[in-house]
Amino acid sequence: MNLRTLTALLSTALLAAPAGALADDPCQFLVANGETYFNGSGFEGVAWTNLGEVSLGDFGDRTVSVALLDQQETGYGLLATTAHTVSGPHGVFTTRDHARLVELSPGLYRLDTQAMIVEGASGQLSVDGLVDFRRGWARWFATGNVCGL
């Protein structure tokens, strides 16, 4: 394909796009860190977030609830399916997650989670952190794209 053909195709695509569709990207990059604590049936806590280039708050601007849906032990730790509900001033979304927890010492695990946003928005998050089942807390860092929030 030569440069003239490519330019014509791009121009046609730009003219065919709905007004504002290119300027209003519905997806924004999310960076968050948080702390959640065991409440007897799951984990709940707060997250400090930046969505796009806008800080959504300086202190606990989003609440996070985590539900354990399934788990299995492996030779190195645990595999779990979880769901997160994240709520804050810009809306609520729910994820469905596949988590791998690798035991570092008795009760302390390294967390590696891939979370798909399934309700309230769309997108995918990668979550890394530590979970201490002895003391009942998780500290984590998440990045990814959130669309339509």
Domain ranges for the chain: 25-147
Q: What percent of the chain has pLDDT over 90?
A: 49
Q: What is the pTM of this model?
A: 0.75
Instruction: Write down the pLDDT at residue 38.
Output: 92
Burial environment of residue 12 by CB neighbours within 10 A (0 to 12, 13 to 18, 19 or more): exposed
Average pLDDT over residues 132-148: 94
Write the pLDDT tens digit of every residue in 69-83: 899 999 889 999 999
- 83's CB contacts (< 8 A; 6+ apart) are 66, 67, 69, 94, 95, 96, 97
Q: How far is CA 50 from CA 33, 100, 105, 145, 146, in A?
A: 9, 25, 32, 11, 11
